[in-house]
């Protein structure tokens, strides 16, 4: 059992995050913490009423749901503080675009608290259309850093009996093939009974390569390791490009190396 944190501002996109949080909490028998941060004292009572209404949602009846109401002016800092206090394993955020992600996940000009945290962050932009997770995309260069986060991907794949798509975006060289094969051998994916496939995609843009692959292969979740805000920011920016339809965006799980 582990703790999941879903910050909400009562928007439609926060509702999407709550859908995913409820789904994962049920699947893993986890505690689900629903957090709202009040910036103005006069909004506190109204926020209490909204959180109470959320707590009575039929979808939460089979979930260990907890309501958390905090006061503070710095949203991302407060999210990180609560995550630390609750020792959560996963933070799930709704996003309506890059600007919202920068405020809520990437932080303001002075802070990038959530991305700098030790916790995994799942970013969603759309309503959850399926109660299944059949495919996980793990884009990587498969160097040493990737070994640090892949166990989380394996655990998720086992929990949902999902197929892992191992993707290298760039030149297809013998050295790259060897590196990916060594990665698979190290984690003994076949011995663990994990379904997987290996793909090397020649694309000049890492982010567009990932998103195009996800769209063309019906990927349910993109899981990516990151040092900080750069990777996910580019990924989210590319997802709003005119070159991709709006519904092409998949949930993105960022894991700190």
Q: Note the pLDDT tens digit of each residue in 52-90.
A: 999 999 999 999 999 999 998 878 888 889 999 999 999
| Residue at which a domain ends, from 124, 153, 188 | 124
Same domain, 150 and 249: yes
| Residue 93 and residue 146 in one domain | no
What average pLDDT does the segment 211-224 reach?
91
Parent domain of 210 = 135-256
DSSP single-letter state for residue 45 = H
Q: Both 155 and 203 in a single domain? A: yes
Residue 203 lies in a domain: yes
User: Does 117 lie in the same domain as 145?
Assistant: no
Q: Is residue 74 part of a domain?
A: yes
Instruction: Specify the pLDDT at position 234.
Output: 56
What pLDDT is recorded for position 118? Answer: 78
Answer yes or no: do 139 and 120 share one domain.
Answer: no
Same domain, 118 and 150: no
The CATH code of the domain that includes 229 is: 3.40.50.620
28 and 82 assigned to the same domain: yes
Please give the share of the chain, as a percent, with pLDDT higher than 70: 83
What confidence category does residue 172 fall into, taking pLDDT thresholds of 50, 70 and 90? confident
161 and 91: one domain? no
Long-range Cβ contact pairs of 126-134 (< 8 A, separation 24 or more): 126/16, 126/247, 126/249, 127/15, 127/16, 127/19, 128/16, 128/19, 128/20, 128/23, 130/220, 131/23, 132/160, 132/220, 133/160, 133/162, 133/220, 133/221, 134/160, 134/162, 134/163, 134/220
**Crossing angle between the packed helical segments 229-239 and 206-216, to the nearest 10 degrees:** 60
pLDDT greater at residue 226 or residue 241: 226
Q: What is the DSSP letter of 162?
A: P
Same domain for 195 and 176? yes
Residue 199 has pLDDT above 90, yes or no: yes
In a shared domain, residues 29 and 95? yes
Number of domains in the chain: 2
Instruction: Supply 160's token pair.
Output: 């949902």
Q: Would residue 226 count as lying in a domain?
A: yes
Tell which of 124, 154, 187 closes a domain. 124
Tokens representing 70 are: 């905090």
With respect to residue 116, please indicate whether it lies within any of the assigned structural domains. Answer: yes
| pLDDT tens profile 134-149 | 999 999 989 998 999 9
End-to-end CA distance of the chain: 23
Q: Which of 95, 124, 153 represents a domain boundary (last residue)?
A: 124
Beta bridge partners, 5, equal 33, 91
Confirm whether 130 is domain-assigned: no
Rounded CA-CA distance 144/21 in Å is 31
Share of the chain above pLDDT 90, in %: 53
Residue 129 inside a domain? The answer is no
């Amino acid at each position: 059992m582990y703790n999941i944190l879903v910050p909400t501002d009562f928007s439609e996109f926060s509702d999407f995050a709550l859908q995913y949080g409820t789904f994962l909490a049920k699947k893993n028998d986890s505690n689900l913490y629903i957090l709202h941060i009040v910036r103005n004292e006069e909004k506190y009572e109204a926020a209490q009423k909204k959180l109470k209404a959320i707590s009575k949602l039929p979808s939460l009846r089979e979930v260990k749901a907890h309501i958390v109401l905090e006061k503070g002016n710095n949203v991302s800092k407060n999210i990180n503080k609560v995550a630390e206090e609750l020792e959560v394993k996963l933070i799930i955020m709704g996003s309506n675009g890059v600007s919202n992600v920068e405020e809520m996940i990437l932080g303001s000009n002075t802070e990038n608290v959530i991305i700098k945290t030790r916790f995994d962050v799942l970013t969603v932009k759309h309503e959850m259309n399926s109660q299944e997770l059949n495919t996980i995309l793990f884009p990587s260069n498969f160097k040493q850093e990737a070994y640090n986060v892949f166990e989380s991907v394996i655990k998720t794949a086992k929990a949902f009996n999902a197929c892992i798509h191992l993707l290298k975006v760039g030149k297809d060289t013998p050295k790259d093939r060897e590196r990916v094969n060594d990665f698979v051998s190290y984690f003994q994916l076949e011995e663990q009974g994990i379904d997987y496939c290996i793909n090397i995609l020649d694309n000049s843009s890492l982010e567009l390569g990932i998103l195009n692959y996800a769209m063309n292969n019906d990927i349910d979740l993109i899981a990516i390791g990151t040092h900080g805000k750069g990777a996910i920011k580019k990924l989210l920016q590319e997802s709003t490009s005119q070159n991709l339809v709006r519904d092409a965006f998949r949930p993105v799980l960022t894991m700190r190396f």
